[in-house]
Structure 1
Amino acid sequence: MRSLSFEIMVVKLMAILLVETALLLVIGHVVLANNSNSKHERPQKVTTTIRDNFRRANGVIKSIQSEDGDIIDCIDIYKQPALSHPALKNHKIQMEPSYVPTTDQTTRKINRAKGKKNKPSKSEVPLSVIKQIWHKNGSCPEGTVPIRRNLKTNNKAVPIVSRRYQRSFSQLSQNNTSNLLRPNHALSVLRTDGHAYLGAQGSIAVYNPEVENPDEYSLSDISLENGGPEKFETVRSGWMVNPAVYGDKKSRFFTYWTSDGGHETGCFDHICPGFIQLSKNIALGVVIDHISTTPNKPAELMSISIYKDLDTNNWWVDSGEEKIGYWPGDLFDELIKNAEAIQWGGDVYSTRLETHPHTATAMGSGAYSSPVDWLSGSIRGIRILQNSMVWKYPDWASPYADQVNCYDNNLQVVADDPVFYYGGPGSGGQASKCP
């Protein structure tokens, strides 16, 4: 009996020991796992802290993820990229222009005296502010400016300009389809020159034209220029589809500048320093929300004004009443004085403009010019600034097209205010006359 009881006791003790051992093993495993996890977590926390500190050091206050894939960083206005340009080392940001041009000298003086904003008269085309998709997901706080994070950009992939005119503009025929005005560029523009210009304005219909190849682009914009054939200076702004720069085929608001014909200086948006941003609402290089669609719908417009501040020599860019920012006069040698020429219209870049087959990259809406609001590319409210500092239609302006069979234009007077229509399909589409 005793022997049996003893054996039962031994078995119970062994069972207890086995249970305790198993518990110890489980506890040890959990402890080791926790320690292991903590070792992995610490570097992650440190990395996050380093990244956040780096972003704060570079002025990033807030980031907004746009539904189109862009990331917009709200950056401290005093830490924006432009201020790293060597010519702007001691630049003091001009928070607002010294004056706001208007179409009537008397009204401008009265409004300035009363502190009122200048509103368009009944005869003027209403100015439309650029609408952008990222606005749906947030806004930047006061004291910051929205800068598109450059995830897929390649600024040097395709130059927006190669060289300026090889001969006098007046010597070129409207029907000339060879010897492009600019190599690899097909223009369909309204142009005025021969005077000293201090600004240009227009409301551009926004479309999303087909761009056939990744190394091609299509744009519609306003351009002001000065300087010699090889080292000319330009500031320009509008919308463009440029896969090489932006990584997709969406229509985006852009700015561009160069002080040497695009050889060494200048670039798009904020990809390199130069443009001083003031607006917290409009970002450069960002997808435009409202795109014109056909048929039978009025064109979606974006209004652009580019003008020189006589007090500072800075070139300002506005959209409607919104002051977007400026190019400092210190960037230029010739434009610091004035512009010699202005262009409104379309530009297609391709190495297949005088080849067969011709590129199918389209201009404007992708349709040939037509005096119907919803059919073709158009620019209305065309204005210039001269010494009077009052917006007016130019005394002389002439349409020009490199390849009228591919991209044509016409200028029509509508409601006593000329409208410039332009565009074309390239070699794409059944209606194309392009070789």
Structure 2
Amino acid sequence: MRLYLTFAILCCFYNEAYGKVSLDIDMKLKTLNKPALKTIKSEDGDIIDCVNIHKQHAFDHPALRNHKIQMKPSVEFDTKKTNIPNNGSAKPITSQIWSKSGNCPIGTIPVRRVSREDISRASSPSHFGRKTPRRYNFLDNALQHKANFNLTAEKLTEPRPNNRSEAIIVALGFNYVGAQSDINVWNPPRVQAGDYSSAQIWLLGGLSDTFESIEAGWMVNPNVFGDSRTRLFAYWTRDAYTKTGCINLLCSGFVQTTTKFALGAAIDPVSSFHEQYYISISMFLDPNSGNWWLTCGDNVMGYWPGTLFSSLKHSATAVQWGGEVYSPNVMKKPHTKTPMGSGAWAYDLLGYACFHTNIRIKDFSLQIKYPQHLSEYVDEYNCYSTKLYRETYMSEPQFFFGGPGQNRFCP
């Protein structure tokens, strides 16, 4: 009898807990999946909802309740490009898979529909689509040692995050108002469940433990998307990933304006050893509205409203280009098998390794230029790698990065 009562009580607690989680998921789905004026079923399995631009999730944010949409930037982030590696043989990505099945009408935005299974994979509905907290100690020390700051020495002495591994180049300054690059698109194999692998740009501002960041590029993230496809993504935070921000439109904040590209939708085609593809990503501050605009190729995707931020209201203090692997199994043995970039080492160069090229910043001089000083850094040099490569003395450097993860040097 006592055993039966214990079992009954446990069942009661389980049902109550399960019921609360299920209710939380229902509420999250209702918040994220706004009513659609048109629905497009993509051949890759995604469902794209065409949502009224004025009723998108961004405006659920308390700071944006009375926000007036800015439909286009007041200025253009003019690009200055050299040749893409290999005499321009790399091709730009100009569309996504879902657009083969239809288009969203003017006055709407394409939003990838979130499923119950997507949210169920997160540790909790409130953590769905969010990164875990981290620090960038070099942000504090760079401000204190403006003239002679050694990033490599600094990062070697700072505590490393126990669940992220980066291979990056960094530009440090005090007034970046824009950044861009062409990011080589790959589909890294064997990204482990619970891990993600990204190739991206970061703009950072503020202090190490409360930094603000806007980010964009491509990622493979089975935990969020439920598959291993390469997908376009954006991210923001104003508190070092602690409580604010998210991937794409999975929380309120980013205001989407384009009808042609969907954040979180798959990118196709991807690069192979025979053919190279890239996306052109830029993020820049509108000097008149204070909003940070995101573009992908010729598509103006939308913006992060300046009211979301404190430090980034005026400028960024650091820009990073490179790749990131998230896993509970980095910085330990056995190491994760999740690769970065193409999965090849940076020294394999064009056709094999992932690259950033046409790297540019914009500062208060309003000149769009190659950064004057760049520092390379790798968290785990036996697992992932970087190479800032110049083909000739006169040519502009190209940045290659990536690696296989677990290998005989990174057991």
Q: TM-score range by the shorter chain?
A: 0.7 to 0.9
Aligned 8 A contact 2:292 2:303 in 1: yes
Q: For residue 282 of structure 2, what is the amino acid of its counterpart?
A: S
When structure 1 is superposed on structure 2, of 348-357 and 127-136 the one drifting more is 127-136
The DSSP-based 3-state class of the residue aligned with 1:135 is helix
Compute the displacement of 1:70 (Å): 0.8
Corresponding residue to 1:70 among 46, 54, 58: 46
Aligned to 2:136: 165
Q: Structure 1: 5+ residue runs without aligned partners?
A: 1-53, 104-119
Corresponding residue to 1:385 among 362, 366, 391: 362
Corresponding residue to 1:100 among 52, 76, 79: 76
Aligned 8 A contact 1:364 1:377 in 2: yes
Compute the displacement of 1:138 (Å): 0.8
Compute the displacement of 1:162 (Å): 2.0
Aligned 8 A contact 1:174 1:401 in 2: no
Give 1:154-193 correspondences, 5 Å limit.
154=122, 156=127, 159-160=130-131, 162-166=133-137, 168=141, 170=150, 172-173=152-153, 181-193=160-172
Q: For residue 156 of structure 1, what is the amino acid of its counterpart?
A: H
Aligned to 2:390: 413
Give 1:31-430 correspondences, 5 Å limit.
58-102=34-78, 128-151=92-115, 152-153=118-119, 154=122, 156=127, 159-160=130-131, 162-166=133-137, 168=141, 170=150, 172-173=152-153, 181-294=160-273, 297-370=274-347, 372-414=349-391, 416-428=395-407
Cα distance in structure 1, aligned partners of 2:364 and 2:84: 20
Compute the displacement of 1:371 (Å): 5.5
Aligned 8 A contact 2:93 2:277 in 1: no
Cα distance in structure 1, aligned partners of 2:218 and 2:174: 26
Q: For residue 426 of structure 1, what is the amino acid of its counterpart?
A: G
Aligned length: 359
The DSSP-based 3-state class of the residue aligned with 1:335 is helix
Cα distance in structure 2, aligned partners of 1:342 and 1:121: 18
Cα distance in structure 1, aligned partners of 2:179 and 2:101: 33
The DSSP-based 3-state class of the residue aligned with 2:364 is coil
Aligned 8 A contact 2:215 2:235 in 1: yes
The DSSP-based 3-state class of the residue aligned with 2:397 is strand
Cα distance in structure 2, aligned partners of 1:157 and 1:270: 11
Summarize the Cα distance change of 1:277–1:158 in structure 2 as closer, same or farther, 3 Å threshold. closer
Q: For residue 92 of structure 1, what is the amino acid of its counterpart?
A: K
Compute the displacement of 1:195 (Å): 2.6
- Structure number with greater Rg is 1
Aligned to 1:48: none
Q: For residue 138 of structure 1, what is the amino acid of its counterpart?
A: G
Compute the displacement of 1:183 (Å): 3.0
Compute the displacement of 1:191 (Å): 0.4
Aligned 8 A contact 2:331 2:380 in 1: no
Q: Structure 2: 5+ residue runs without aligned partners?
A: 1-29, 143-149
RMSD over aligned Cα atoms: 2.5
Q: TM-score, normalised by structure 2?
A: 0.82
Aligned 8 A contact 2:353 2:402 in 1: yes
Cα distance in structure 2, aligned partners of 1:227 and 1:156: 23
Summarize the Cα distance change of 1:130–1:433 in structure 2 as closer, same or farther, 3 Å threshold. farther
The DSSP-based 3-state class of the residue aligned with 2:92 is coil
Q: Deviations over 1:255-288 (max 9, x none)?
A: 0000111111100111111111111000001111
Cα distance in structure 2, aligned partners of 1:373 and 1:171: 27
Summarize the Cα distance change of 1:247–1:272 in structure 2 as closer, same or farther, 3 Å threshold. same
When structure 1 is superposed on structure 2, of 217-226 and 389-398 the one drifting more is 389-398
Compute the displacement of 1:372 (Å): 3.0
When structure 1 is superposed on structure 2, of 411-420 and 244-253 the one drifting more is 411-420
